[in-house]
Structure 1
Amino acid sequence: MNKFTILLISLILILITGCSSNNFEIKLFTPKSFTPDQSTPIKVKILDREGNPVIGAKVSADLDMQGMSHGDITMKMQETGNGVYVGRAKFEMEGDYTATIKIDYNGEKWKREKRFSIVYNNAQ
């Protein structure tokens, strides 16, 4: 084989390996609004490759407002059962956020990003 063929095969194998590292399906559940000075529940549901709930993981999330640099909101999430983990965050501003969800499960660590938007709760 020539060098180009070896390089091409190597790149394909790297891509296949990278794509198969999707060990979890993560669903993020956030409310549409928040009340200032109150904590807001944030939930994630984590399923394994076969669609079974992931039980016993250590889960945390960093919430970062897009386009702002006033600091992340970091929260540890507690398992409530059936692959659902809940944390609470105090939002200061409405806007678009990125949640970086970190999972530590059976000695392996993963990180995924999910995006969401949230606004002030005007019904006070």
Structure 2
Amino acid sequence: MRKGTFWLISLLIVILAGCGSNDFQLELVTPKSFSPDQPSTIHIKVLDSGGKPVTGAKVRVDLNMHMMSHGDVSIKNMKETADGVYTGIAQFEMEGDYTATIQIDDNGKKWTGEKRFSIVSNQGK
């Protein structure tokens, strides 16, 4: 009985791992530093699973600072500036480590992923 349970659990893990398919590949480009009260440009390159640019998608980004509970920064309507490249403006208040939660709607095919990055203030430099 235990051997059958082991195989059943193993099969379930394999099936669940396959369900988490990588429909999109993301490349997040953020500035290394920011100036307080100045906009910072964020770029996201979105590719399909075959490596081709995803054009015409709706892309939203929510930036959340690690270990902090002050307001998040949202970029609701990223603009496509090149094939598969989406650009938006963020207003950083603090330097630190951030998580970018990226939501993609490609003709009804919805996907959410995360990328992490760090940014420092160039104030006083």
Report the TM-score when normalising by structure 1.
Answer: 0.89
Unaligned runs of 5+ in 2: none
Report the TM-score when normalising by structure 2.
Answer: 0.89
What SS does the corresponding residue of 2:56 show, helix, strand or coil? coil
How far did residue 10 of structure 1 move? 3.1
Inter-CA distance 50–69: structure 2 relative to 1 (3 Å threshold): same
User: Which string of whole-angstrom CA distances, capped at 9 and with x for unpartnered residues, describes residues 41-77 of structure 1?
Assistant: 0000001111100000000100001010001100121
Q: Aligned-residue CA RMSD in angstroms? A: 1.9
How far did residue 121 of structure 1 move? 1.6
Letter in 1 for 2:28: L
After TM superposition, the runs of 4+ consecutive aligned structure 1 residues lying more than 4 A away are none
Q: Quote the residue 1:11 is aligned against.
A: 13
What SS does the corresponding residue of 2:10 show, helix, strand or coil? helix
Name the count of aligned residue pairs.
122
Question: What percent of counterpart residues are identical?
Answer: 54
Aligned mates of 1:40, 1:50 — CA distance in 2? 30
Q: Quote the residue 2:110 is aligned against.
A: 109
How far did residue 82 of structure 1 move? 1.6
Unaligned runs of 5+ in 1: none
Aligned mates of 2:13, 2:116 — CA distance in 1? 30
Residue pairs, 1:63-78, within 5 angstroms: 63-75=63-75, 76-78=77-79
